[in-house]
A and B are shown apart, each in its own frame.
Chain A
Amino acid sequence: MKAFQSEDPLLQVRNVTRYYGDRIGCANVSFDLWPGEVLAIVGESGSGKTTLLNCLSTRLAPTAGAIEYRMRDGAMRNLYQLSEAERRLLMRTDWGFVHQNAADGLRMNVSAGANVGERLMAVGERHYGNIRATADDWLGRVEIESDRIDDDPRSFSGGMRQRLQIARNLVTQPRLVFMDEPTGGLDVSVQARLLDLLRRLVADLGLSVVIVTHDLAVARLLSHRIMVMRHGNVIETGLTDQVLDDPREPYSQLLVSSILQV
């Protein structure tokens, strides 16, 4: 399978702006995302990364601008002109959203198997045996032992919860996944395992991903392209290694030079 060959973007973002009162959340953000492409949005806390991610994923209506998405039938649709039912179907099937805090993306009081199976039922799967088998397969793909399928995620470690959240998101074979600091708050060895897992799944499934992170090492490992944000504005964009090896803007240079060497 070859990436970067498709001629049609999956997501087209034009001048997306979000105000909170008279404060800017993010301003005039435009970009295209192609199938199989991973875009990292980097910047410090308060730079507008998460505001932008929430606008893109229809969790927060932008004040201005347009976001168009290529539906499975090939038609480009304006996300904020979809009906509520269409939008919910999209979020449950064709999209995923991986939260920093796994508890925000999981149902903590139902079993691991049910967490994964629930998304399958949302796309119409009804056969219990099939749902359980698929859930078991996905738990395996995110390296959760089969014998934990009936345990609820409250008994899981942070890293396991995050892997479960990823399985829950990917089981419906989405085309676009949003991730908000997916490795934040995990210790480094757990982070490394999760990153490797994500890197492999993204490549194998040909996913398009928009990932928000303040960790440039995560961006380097996972993304093809980087967008640097500051004070709600996109100040620099480019190929990931171009922005990290040859940053042009003062703030990008500061970000890159602030990485601790191990």
Chain B
Amino acid sequence: MPVRLYLNNVGKSFTMHLQGGTVIPVVDRVEFSVDTGECVVLGGPSGAGKSSILKMIYGNYRCDKGQILVTVGDRIVNVADAEPRQILRLREDTIGYVSQFLRTIPRVSAEHVVAEPLIAQGADEAEGLDRARALLARLNVPERLWTLPPATFSGGEQQRVNIARGFIAHYPILLLDEPTASLDAANRAVVVRLVEEKKAQGVAMVGILHDQDVREEIADRIVDVTNFSAEAAA
């Protein structure tokens, strides 16, 4: 199976200038790869740096050292030193991110929020909205909410809108940041099926999943992040 994503000797720390320049080491010497159609789950306790690794892959955290290599067609892009516009392009068609929290945009309806990534990939609006509605229905978001902006939805409803948004488009690499946290059993099962469908399409996934059952169902491999502890390496 071809490798889609490879992290090589990745390290990250934060320097808190407002706290007298305290340096907080996060991870060091992170090394793992993800193949096509594989779901790798990051394991380890809170604070081990799982989210930071995911955010470095997506490019919203900077990577201090090492390489984050992403296969794009027949090219390899290193996210760690890519130009902002290269990262934006990757986010448009190569790397997707499903997070727990929806960043709502004033006045944009739930179905448009969900359809947006597909439309950005070139789908026309009608097709995008059709697919969006189908996904919202699968995730049990009540139909009367679809045309409303999600700002006033409950936490669980917003989360499901965000999951639909994360899964609607095809990205060869998909990052899952606790997509099932606080979902009920029925919706957890829907997410598990969505992940299995992505796997069947050859999507390489990296996830953070605290839910033991979900983890067992979808993880092909668990990478223990405590092995990359910055203190241990120092």
Q: Which residues from chain A sit less than 8 Å from chain B, CB to CB?
A: 1-5, 34, 37, 192-193, 195-196, 199, 221, 224-225, 238-239, 241-242, 245-246, 248-250, 253-254, 257
A238 to B59, CA, bound (A): 10
Across chains A and B, which 10 residue pairs bring their CB atoms closest together, nearest first?
A: A250-B17, A192-B106, A241-B60, A4-B89, A196-B107, A239-B84, A246-B61, A4-B88, A245-B60, A196-B106
- Given A196-B108, A221-B105, A238-B84, answer yes or no on A250-B59 (Cβ-Cβ < 8 Å): no
A2 to B119, CA, bound (A): 9
Mark contacts of B36-72 with chain A using CB atoms, 8 A cut-off: 1 yes-contact digit, 0 otherwise: 0000000000000000000100011110000000000
Chain B residue with Cβ nearest A195: B106
Within the complex, the shortest CB–CB distance from A77 to chain B, in Å, comes to: 23
Within the complex, the shortest CB–CB distance from A240 to chain B, in Å, comes to: 9
A34 touching B85 by the CB < 8 A rule?
yes
A239 touching B88 by the CB < 8 A rule?
yes
The yes or no answer to B76 lying at the interface (CB within 8 A) is no
**Listed residue (A192, A221, A246, A254) with the most chain B CB atoms within 10 angstroms of its CB:** A246
- Given A195-B106, A196-B108, A239-B59, answer yes or no on A3-B84 (Cβ-Cβ < 8 Å): no
A238 touching B62 by the CB < 8 A rule?
yes
A sample of 4 more A-B contacts (CB under 8 A), given A242-B60, A242-B62, is: A1-B122, A4-B88, A4-B92, A239-B88
Question: Across the interface, which residues of B come within 8 angstroms of A242, CB to CB?
Answer: 59-62, 84
A196 to B151, CA, bound (A): 14
B88 touching A245 by the CB < 8 A rule?
no
Within the complex, the shortest CB–CB distance from A42 to chain B, in Å, comes to: 15
Within the complex, the shortest CB–CB distance from B230 to chain A, in Å, comes to: 16
A257 to B16, CA, bound (A): 11
The yes or no answer to B120 lying at the interface (CB within 8 A) is yes
Question: Across the interface, which residues of B come within 8 angstroms of A196, CB to CB?
Answer: 105-108
5 pairs of residues in contact across A and B, judged by CB atoms under 8 Å: A2-B92, A3-B88, A239-B59, A249-B17, A253-B18
Q: Which residues from chain B sit less than 8 Å from chain A, CB to CB?
A: 14-18, 55, 59-62, 84-85, 87-89, 92-93, 105-108, 120-122
B84 touching A254 by the CB < 8 A rule?
no
Question: Across the interface, which residues of A come within 8 angstroms of B89, CB to CB?
Answer: 4-5
Picked from A3, A34, A245, the residue with its CB within 8 Å of the CB of B61 is A245
Picked from B87, B105, B107, B108, the residue with its CB within 8 Å of the CB of A239 is B87
Question: Across the interface, which residues of A come within 8 angstroms of B105, CB to CB?
Answer: 196, 199, 221
Question: Across the interface, which residues of A come within 8 angstroms of B55, CB to CB?
Answer: 245-246
Chain B residue with Cβ nearest A226: B84
A257 touching B18 by the CB < 8 A rule?
yes
Within the complex, the shortest CB–CB distance from A44 to chain B, in Å, comes to: 16
Question: Across the interface, which residues of B come within 8 angstroms of A257, CB to CB?
Answer: 18
Question: Across the interface, which residues of B come within 8 angstroms of A248, CB to CB?
Answer: 15, 62
Question: Across the interface, which residues of B come within 8 angstroms of A192, CB to CB?
Answer: 106-107
- Given A196-B105, A199-B105, A253-B17, answer yes or no on A3-B92 (Cβ-Cβ < 8 Å): yes
Question: Across the interface, which residues of B come within 8 angstroms of A37, CB to CB?
Answer: 85
Question: Across the interface, which residues of A come within 8 angstroms of B59, CB to CB?
Answer: 239, 242
Question: Across the interface, which residues of B come within 8 angstroms of A254, CB to CB?
Answer: 17-18
B120 touching A2 by the CB < 8 A rule?
yes
Chain A residue with Cβ nearest B103: A220
